[in-house]
Structure 1
């Protein structure tokens, strides 16, 4: 996931790897707290999860991000769709 997010952020060095990893972890936790299944949240091959995490990181990477609102809104929309999709939520039996 780190490589995909770094590519989206257009970062080629390793100077920000720990910050980016922290954002990836925060995105995963936020998705789980919203009801997305942990196995899905941790599936790096799932393109919807990858996109949600990437957009979260794009929103939160810089404190003075002029596009914060746009990316945060996009992330919230993706998160909402994931929490409504039956394949992504915990089922109660």
Structure 2
């Protein structure tokens, strides 16, 4: 997943790996708090959610942060409403 995030953020250095891993884990925790329990990184919607979360929260001067955060929140809502992403 780290390599996917680096590619999405156009990062080629390893300097930000720890911060990116933290963002990936924070996203997974946020998804779990929303009731999403099936967090398979190979699932295209889960992967997109993690990428959007990282794009919204990486960097201090991120002019597109709000746009990515809104996209993440909408996708998270859809995932939370779907039975496919919950263990019941």
Residues 34-93 of structure 1: CA deviation (Å, up to 9, x unaligned): 0001xx21x2211100000000000000122100110000000010000001111232xx
Name the residue aligned to 1:44.
Answer: 41
Distance 1:80 1:57 in 2: 17
Local SS of the residue matching 2:35: coil
Number of the residue aligned with 2:24: 24
What is the count of residue pairs matched by the alignment?
88
Q: Unmatched 5+ residue regions in structure 2? A: none
TM-score, reference length from structure 1: 0.91
Alignment RMSD: 0.8
Matches within 5 A, 1:78-89: 78-89=75-86
- TM-score of the aligned structures, taking structure 2 as reference length: 0.96
8 Å contact kept, 1:23–1:57: yes
Q: Which runs of 5 or more residues in structure 1 are unaligned? A: none
Matched-pair contact (CA < 8 Å) for 1:35–1:90: no
